[in-house]
Amino acid sequence: MKNFKMLTLMTLMTSASVFAAGYTAFAELDVDKSGSLSVQEAAADSSLAQKFEQLDTNKDGQLSEAEYNAG
């Protein structure tokens, strides 16, 4: 049982690390705390900047948190 708990914990930690390795957290990028990301704010994360136009589904020049999370 102890080994199972340890394996479960290690799996969860690895999963979180892999997930976090993607985009920088929305809150960190939203420098002006407007609730959306501008092109300039998104530029701080190169992988996000490359997909900005694709993720901006309503084409308002901003990424909402929902648009960000969809990516």
pLDDT at 17: 46
Measured CA distances, 69 to 7, 37, 54, 57 (Å): 29, 12, 13, 12
pTM: 0.67
* Segments making up each domain of the chain, as ranges: 23-71
For domain 23-71, the CATH architecture is: Orthogonal Bundle (1.10)
Whose tokens are 């990516």? That residue is: 71
Q: 32 is written with which tokens? A: 């002006």
pLDDT tens profile 6-61 = 556 566 565 454 455 457 899 999 999 999 999 999 999 999 999 999 999 999 99
CA distance 44 to 28: 10
